[in-house]
Amino acid sequence: MIQRGDKVEQWRKEKTIITFCGLIFLVAFVCASSSALSQVTGRVVDSGSGEPLVGVGLQWEGTSAGTMSSAEGHFSLPRHERSHRLVVRYAGYQSDTIIIHSDTSFVLNLHSQAQRLKKVAVRGRRKLSFNKMTSLEQTEVITTEGLRGLACCNLGESFQNSTTVDVGYSDAVSGSKQIQLLGLTGVYSQMLLENTPFLRGLSAPFGLGYVPGQWMESISVSKGVATVKNGYEAITGTINIEYEKPNKGDRFSLNLYENSDLKSEVTARVNHRFNEHLATGLLLYGAYDTKRTDHIGHDGFMDYPLQRQFNAINRWHYENGKGFVSQTLVNYTHEERLGGDMRFEKPMRGNDSIYGFGGTTDRIHFFTKNGFRLSNTASFGSQVAGTWFRQDAFYGLSDYHGEEKDLYVNLLVNAEVSGGHIVDYGLSFRYSDVSEDLYYIPYLGYVGQVSFADGDNYSYREVLPGIFGQFTFRYGDDFNATLGLRYDYSVPPSKRFQTMFAYYANDDFESHALTPRFHFRWNVWHDWILRGSVGRGFRTPNLIAENFGVLASGRKIVQSEWIRREEAWNGGLNMSKSFKISDDREATLTIDYYHTRFVNQAVVDFDVAPDEVHFGNLDGESYSSVLQADFSIEPFEGFTASVAGKISDVRCTYHGILMRKPYTSFWKGLLVLSYHTRFDKWRFDLTTQLNGPQRLPLNKGAVQGETSPYVYMLGQITRKFKHFELYAGVENITGYVQEHPVVGYDAPFSQAFDASIVYAPLMGRLYYIGLRFNIL
Amino acid sequence: MPFGVIQTNTITMKKALILLIVACFCTTAFAQSKKNTKTTDISIPGYCCKGLNATIENTLAYERGVVEWTLHQDKKSVTVVYKEGKTTPEKIEKALAANGVRTANEKPNPRAIEKLPKCCQPAARGEASCGKM
């Protein structure tokens, strides 16, 4: 009873404070506006991010008179003769009551329980994925609901219902997956964990496997250049992942998974709240896969490497209820992989008769984000993120050792200025120490540079302070635009760190990077929304880590010049529209076109000779043009169908000839069907992908030139019970696989060997079952 | 040895898997006889808006022994038809409370309250009554 009394007391206190703030606002605005308004008008925004809130309910207390905020958060309602108390309610936010005694106009800051964090799972309206209609950038959000319909062991498998992101294997022995956005490899997009950079540098190649599917609350994919707030990378887009929050998550959740290749996975999540201010969470994941299979090609090589992974996160959330929010997360990952010949065991490393692949990775990643309100219209935020990464790997006779230490600091201020426009500005700093040592013997009898570790090390140290600012212009509900600019200065390295990269050598070092970026959103006509973006981006390539596949071949690495920093421009247009079919069902249509053009690129050329790979700088044109259309409809309750198509034209100049970029589908089609019965007791998901032809580079295999298109299907049935749910599914239903992914498997230590030519699935039909259990 | 070779007959495995799946998913087909049913009225004083309907219905849908129900928004109550011997009105009330719904006799689970629509939360906590809707 005492506790409840306290709560009531506190609630009253909060109410008083809120009312007080409201009054101050009122006084301020009444003073500011001399003209007499007949209405109460204003705008509702998120107190943390300043983003407008759409569909917020405003109602005069004790009456039925009210309104909802429109797009961009604006509202307008006549005053009520009997009530002066305006009640503001919005799902996921603290309700607010404002006393209004005169005509007025104001901006209302609503407090989210976890500030700045988007709650994506929309209750009542269950969507698998949706396009954010109100955001400036074109954003596709994959929700928890969407992820539930896929086995999605990890991030790499979470994009199967998305046309925007393509996922492919880097080679046939390591099991490493790489994503493509706008036809270009994932490294040109930026991976964010709750809006802080992660999985960059050396973590990128295997990184998708370090993010367990069951930890994720949502994935947001934005196409085109990002705003300048998170650095000069993010040329083709941004993928932002949200993990479960300790202050919101269930007390305990468990997921068990087992597939027909005997891969087992356990995911557990525990959250504890000490009080209303402080909460902590523990996310655990373990995967164990010890069955060797050779169904594909019957070539004596494992289809997929044996894998063991342990992954843990501890995170803390603190908020004082007065606008200060602090979040800290520490992640430790350990992974071991073993692949290659079916007979290979770990102690055989260095053996020149049985081919093996192995890798051990240890990674620690942390971030801490702290934010508080400076005033009712301004907030300050700081982000500090760091990674320590070490990988020891071998491909046949070649040894690789990679190590990375990375620290990132970002300080930013967000403020609303007069007229409702928004200003963001801040400072950033990055320190990266990356070393890649390669002891390189692609085949027996190889003559050439064996060790890349001495002298011409594939290593660099990057010290990168930066400054940025952006202005968001708003014109009513229907138009807003953001112009941002950032400047980054690369501190020239000392002689000790001279490397093969010209970028880091003192004589030809590019210190300055100026990154302009522009975005707009325009409600053209009746919610037909046009968005556009254009901007420049830079990137430092990590040659070996980003081209691991090369090591799984007898190809000889040829590099005749220093590699410079990569630079590109990206621009695009997007049109989207939502159609209401009934009160709670709708259809959405999205069409977009994006173009990326490189000024400089680290070009990896496989087409000079079938047993060589050439690293060099771009000499000529390199571009990517992608046209995509998505249509999604819920024709009757519980059933959703999405159709999507994409055409890509990605070309790059290889030794003077403009050619299609290898391993990029010319076109792609997708059909996603999902049906759930009432109360979600049964759920059926079926995804069909149509993958178009790809160009293969010169190789020694049987398949040359263009590959043939193929169909990939997956399906899952989920049955929900009172306290748990069971799921069972099939991946690769049609069983289409690449017939001989390991070229020259009978002579793995010769120049004929090549396991880097992968264009189709490497796993046949796969069955799985699983169980999810949680305590609220 | 860290990575040992495990030999398994795949066909047997697949069969076993399919059997398991079938076993798991076929437990729903129990006949619903109208015999031995009773009716109870459960008062929901914290009922504020239609947003709570989904929570109430989702709870009752997964409750063993519940045959059917009717929501009375005006009376702030739900009439539940249940099978005698399988459940009791107390059990149903407890289940509703576990999902955040305040009933006449049961206090709701505070963590579940946070998952309710905003308009229903103060009432579920017993803090205030809600306005007309």
CATH number at residue A455: 2.40.170.20
Most confident of A123-127, A130-134, A162-166, A455-459: A162-166
- Per-residue pLDDT, averaged over A545-563, amounts to 84
The residue assigned the tokens 């104001």 is A106
Return the closest-CA partner of residue A91 out of B122, B119, B100.
B119
Report percent pLDDT > 90 for chain A.
Answer: 48
In a domain, A377, yes or no: yes
- Per-residue pLDDT, averaged over A731-758, amounts to 91
Shortest CB distance from B118 goes to which of A89, A248, A767? A89
Lowest mean pLDDT among A255-269, A303-317, A467-481, A558-572: A558-572
* Chain-chain contact of B61 with A678 (C-beta, under 8 angstroms): yes
Q: Distance between CA B52 and CA B119 in Å, rounded? A: 9
In a domain, B67, yes or no: yes
**pLDDT score at B105:** 87
Q: What residues contact residue A50 under an 8 Å CB cut-off, 6+ apart?
A: A377, A379, A414, A416, A422
Indicate the residue type of A153.
C
Computed over every residue of chain A, the mean pLDDT equals 84
State residue A544 phi and psi, 5-degree precision.
-75, -50
Chain center to CA of A273? 28
Q: Is the pLDDT of residue A497 over 50?
A: no
A6 shares contact with chain B (CB less than 8 Å) = no
Q: Which one of A81, A110, A139 terminates a domain?
A: A110
Q: What pLDDT digit, counting tens, does each position of A588-632 carry?
A: 999 999 999 999 999 999 999 998 999 888 999 999 999 999 999
Q: Is the pLDDT of residue A145 over 50?
A: yes
**pLDDT score at A504:** 42
Q: What residues contact residue A170 under an 8 Å CB cut-off, 6+ apart?
A: A176, A177, A178, A205, A548, A549, A756, A758
Shortest CB distance from B21 goes to which of A290, A308, A728? A728
- Per-residue pLDDT, averaged over A734-754, amounts to 90
Q: Which one of A110, A142, A175 terminates a domain?
A: A110
Tally A–B CB contacts below 8 A. Answer: 94
Indicate the residue type of B104.
A
**pLDDT score at A6:** 47
Clarify whether residues A455 and A518 are in a common domain: yes
Shortest CB distance from A719 goes to which of B20, B24, B57? B24
**pLDDT score at A35:** 34
Q: Distance between CA A241 and CA A194 in Å, rounded? A: 6
Can you give the residue range of the structural domain that contains A640?
A: 129-775
**pLDDT score at A47:** 63
Q: Is the pLDDT higher at A7 or at A480?
A: A480
A21: tokens are 């703030």
Least Cα separation, residue B55 to chain A (angstroms): 9
B7: tokens are 């030999």
Clarify whether residues A145 and A101 are in a common domain: no
Q: Distance between CA A557 and CA A548 in Å, rounded? A: 12
Report percent pLDDT > 70 for chain B.
Answer: 69
Q: Is the pLDDT higher at A579 or at A30?
A: A579
Q: What residues contact residue A505 under an 8 Å CB cut-off, 6+ apart?
A: A498, A499, A562
Chain B residues with CB within 8 Å of chain A CB: 1-6, 8, 10, 13-14, 17-18, 20-21, 24-25, 28, 51, 54, 57-58, 61-64, 98-99, 109, 111-112, 114-115, 117-119, 121-122, 125-127, 131-132
Element (H, E) at A719: strand A710-720
User: Strands of A237-243's sheet, edge to edge?
Assistant: A129-131, A139-142, A216-223, A237-243, A189-193, A196-197
Least Cα separation, residue A494 to chain B (angstroms): 43
In a domain, A393, yes or no: yes
In a domain, B63, yes or no: yes
Q: What residues contact residue A252 under an 8 Å CB cut-off, 6+ apart?
A: A268, A269, A270, A271, A774, A775
Clarify whether residues A134 and A59 are in a common domain: no
In a domain, A1, yes or no: no
Q: What pLDDT digit, counting tens, does each position of A503-519 carry?
A: 344 455 678 899 999 99
Q: Is the pLDDT of residue A700 over 70?
A: yes
In a domain, A121, yes or no: no
* Chain-chain contact of B25 with A251 (C-beta, under 8 angstroms): no
In a domain, A282, yes or no: yes
* Chain-chain contact of A290 with B25 (C-beta, under 8 angstroms): no
The residue assigned the tokens 């076929």 is B26
Q: Is the pLDDT of residue A67 over 70?
A: yes
**pLDDT score at B130:** 63
In a domain, A9, yes or no: no
Q: For every residue of chain B, which 3-state class applies, written as one string?
A: CCCCCCCCCHHHHHHHHHHHHHHHHCCCCCCCCCCCEEEEEEECCCCCCCHHHHHHHHHHHCCCCEEEEEEECCCCEEEEEEEECCECHHHHHHHHHHCCCCCCCCCCCHHHHCCCCHHHHHHHHCCCCCCCC
Q: Distance between CA A330 and CA A714 in Å, rounded? A: 34
**pLDDT score at A127:** 64
- Per-residue pLDDT, averaged over A185-202, amounts to 90
**pLDDT score at A29:** 39
A93 shares contact with chain B (CB less than 8 Å) = yes
Q: Distance between CA A329 and CA A309 in Å, rounded? A: 19
Clarify whether residues A329 and A442 are in a common domain: yes
Lowest mean pLDDT among A264-278, A523-537, B110-124: B110-124
Indicate the residue type of B64.
R
A474 shares contact with chain B (CB less than 8 Å) = no
Q: Is the pLDDT of residue A152 over 80?
A: no
Q: Is A776 helix (H, G, I), strand (E, B) or coil?
A: coil
Return the closest-CA partner of residue B43 out of B11, B88, B75.
B75
**pLDDT score at A31:** 36
In a domain, B11, yes or no: no
Q: What pLDDT digit, counting tens, does each position of A373-414 carry?
A: 888 888 999 999 999 999 999 999 999 999 999 999 999 999
Confidence band of A112 (pLDDT split at 50, 70, 90):
low
In a domain, B12, yes or no: no
* Chain-chain contact of B119 with A728 (C-beta, under 8 angstroms): no
Cα-only R_g, chain A:
27
| Range 709-748 of A in CB contact (< 8 A) with B | 717, 719-722, 726, 728
Clarify whether residues A325 and A192 are in a common domain: yes
CB of A210 within 8 A of CB of A333?
Answer: yes
- Per-residue pLDDT, averaged over A93-102, amounts to 66
**pLDDT score at A91:** 62
Shortest CB distance from A260 goes to which of B17, B51, B109? B17
Tally Cβ neighbours within 10 Å of residue A20.
10
Q: Is the pLDDT higher at A540 or at A709?
A: A709
For residue A93, the chain B residues in CB contact (below 8 A) are 118
Return the closest-CA partner of residue A283 out of A389, A193, A206.
A193
> Cα–Cα distances in Å, from B20 out to A723, A768, B89?
19, 11, 35
CB of A727 within 8 A of CB of A718?
Answer: yes
Confidence band of A2 (pLDDT split at 50, 70, 90):
very low
* Chain-chain contact of B25 with A726 (C-beta, under 8 angstroms): yes
Q: Distance between CA A578 and CA A529 in Å, rounded? A: 9
Query: What is the pTM for the complete model shown?
Result: 0.79
**pLDDT score at B128:** 65
* Chain-chain contact of A338 with B3 (C-beta, under 8 angstroms): yes
Lowest mean pLDDT among A39-43, A143-147, B4-8: B4-8
Angle of helix B51-61 relative to helix B89-98, nearest 10 degrees, comes to 130
* Chain-chain contact of B131 with A728 (C-beta, under 8 angstroms): no
In a domain, A380, yes or no: yes
Lowest mean pLDDT among A341-355, A445-459, B106-120: A445-459
Most confident of A302-311, A444-453, A538-547, B122-131: A302-311
A8 shares contact with chain B (CB less than 8 Å) = yes
Indicate the residue type of A354.
I
A122 shares contact with chain B (CB less than 8 Å) = no
**pLDDT score at A503:** 39
Return the closest-CA partner of residue A283 out of A194, A214, A364, A370.
A214
- Domain count of the fold of chain A: 2
Clarify whether residues A699 and A756 are in a common domain: yes
Q: Is the pLDDT higher at A720 or at B120?
A: A720
Q: Distance between CA A263 and CA A247 in Å, rounded? A: 32
Q: Which residue does chain A place closest to B15, by CA atoms?
A: A260
Clarify whether residues A646 and A678 are in a common domain: yes
CB of A482 within 8 A of CB of A136?
Answer: yes
- Domain count of the fold of chain B: 1
* Chain-chain contact of B17 with A63 (C-beta, under 8 angstroms): no
Indicate the residue type of A564.
R
For residue A262, the chain B residues in CB contact (below 8 A) are 6, 8, 13
Lowest mean pLDDT among A131-140, A264-273, A305-314: A131-140
User: Strands of A39-46's sheet, edge to edge?
Assistant: A74-78, A39-46, A104-110
CB of A649 within 8 A of CB of A659?
Answer: no
Q: Distance between CA A712 and CA A732 in Å, rounded? A: 6
**pLDDT score at A1:** 35
For residue A124, the chain B residues in CB contact (below 8 A) are 51, 54
A354 shares contact with chain B (CB less than 8 Å) = no
Lowest mean pLDDT among A153-157, B77-81, B94-98: A153-157
Least Cα separation, residue A679 to chain B (angstroms): 6
A535: tokens are 């901007």
For residue A336, the chain B residues in CB contact (below 8 A) are 2
Q: Is the pLDDT higher at A637 or at A450?
A: A637
Clarify whether residues A470 and A504 are in a common domain: yes
Q: Distance between CA A294 and CA A276 in Å, rounded? A: 54
ipTM: 0.73
Q: Which one of A62, A77, A110 terminates a domain?
A: A110
| Residues paired with residue A578 on neighbouring β-strands, in sequence order | A588
Q: Which residue does chain B place closest to A61, by CA atoms?
A: B131
In a domain, B29, yes or no: no
Clarify whether residues A627 and A769 are in a common domain: yes
Shortest CB distance from B6 goes to which of A262, A720, A769? A262
> Cα–Cα distances in Å, from B89 out to A507, B57, B66, B80, B99?
83, 15, 10, 9, 16
**pLDDT score at A446:** 84
**pLDDT score at A105:** 66
CB of A293 within 8 A of CB of A300?
Answer: no
Most confident of A41-55, A681-695, B12-26, B74-88: A681-695
Q: Which residue does chain A place closest to B3, by CA atoms?
A: A290
For residue A10, the chain B residues in CB contact (below 8 A) are none
Confidence band of A425 (pLDDT split at 50, 70, 90):
very high
Q: Distance between CA A207 and CA A578 in Å, rounded? A: 35
CATH code of the domain covering residue A93 = 2.60.40.1120
CB of A315 within 8 A of CB of A349?
Answer: no
Confidence band of A351 (pLDDT split at 50, 70, 90):
confident
Clarify whether residues A321 and A285 are in a common domain: yes
Indicate the residue type of A55.
G
Q: Is the pLDDT of residue A33 over 50?
A: no
* Chain-chain contact of B111 with A7 (C-beta, under 8 angstroms): no
Clarify whether residues A555 and A582 are in a common domain: yes
Clarify whether residues A419 and A338 are in a common domain: yes
Shortest CB distance from A291 goes to which of B6, B18, B24? B6
CATH code of the domain covering residue B45 = 3.30.70.100
Can you give the residue range of the structural domain that contains B78?
A: 37-125
Q: Is the pLDDT higher at A112 or at B86?
A: B86
Q: Is the pLDDT of residue B3 over 80?
A: no
* Chain-chain contact of A776 with B109 (C-beta, under 8 angstroms): yes
Q: Distance between CA A462 and CA A157 in Å, rounded? A: 32
